[in-house]
Amino acid sequence: MLAFDFDDGQLDKIAAEYAATPKQVDLSRSRALKRTAATLRRLASTGLQTELGLRNAKALRRRLKEYKVGKGNNALKLWFGANDLPVSAFKGRPQKVDGGIKFGDTMVHGAFFAKVGGKRKVMQRYGSKRWAIGEATLSVADRMMIYLEDEVFVDIDSIYMKHFLAEIRARTILGVG
C-alpha cells in the first residue's frame, strides 16, 4: 500500500493567497482529491493497456476501484486488482506447439484449444474431474505494480496541486459551488 501526504502548509498558503474561507478550502480539498483519483485511474488504465498488451481496457476497468476511507473527505483508497488475466484478454494469436500453447514469449504447458460459445479459446485442465477445465491465464502482477510505481504515482503531488489550485480559483474568483 502506498500512502501520500500533501503539504498542508503549501495548501494553506494557496488558500490565503486567494482569501478562501475554511469551507471553501475543505470543499476544494475534497474535490481535488476526487479529481486526482480519477486522473490516476485514467493514467493507469491507458498506460497498463499498452504496457501489458491488452486488446481493450475492459479487463482493466473491472480491476480499478476507488473507495472513500474514513468519515472525512480527505482520504481515498485506490485498489488495483493484480490477479492473472485470461489469454483472450491479450493481443496476439496463440499457436499450438508440442506440450501446450505458445503465446508470444510465454509457453502455457498442457493447454489446448477449445470452442466455447463459438469462440476459440485457450483452455487448461485444473483437476482430474471431467469438467475441471478453465481458460488459461497469464500473470500480470509484477509488470502491473512496477508500471504503477514508476509511471503513474510519480507525479501525484503535482496532479493534486494542479486540481486543488483550479478548485480554489473556481470557488473564490468565479464563485462556483
* CA 118 – CA 27 distance, rounded (Å): 52
For residue 99, pLDDT beyond 90: yes
Is 104 exposed, middle or buried (CB count within 10 Å of its CB: 0-12, 13-18, 19+)? middle
The predicted-structure confidence for 126-137, as pLDDT tens digits, reads as follows: 999 988 999 999
Is 118 exposed, middle or buried (CB count within 10 Å of its CB: 0-12, 13-18, 19+)? exposed
Domain boundaries, the chain: 8-84+140-172, 91-138
* CA 64 – CA 85 distance, rounded (Å): 14
Report the alpha-carbon angle 92-93-98, nearest 5.
130
The predicted-structure confidence for 59-85, as pLDDT tens digits, reads as follows: 888 888 888 777 766 778 889 999 999
Mean of the pLDDT values across residues 77-95?
Answer: 92
Q: How high is the pLDDT of residue 1?
A: 57
pTM of the model: 0.84
Mean of the pLDDT values across residues 107-119?
Answer: 93
For residue 121, pLDDT beyond 90: yes
The position carrying cell 471431467 is: 130
Say what percent of the chain tops pLDDT 70. 97
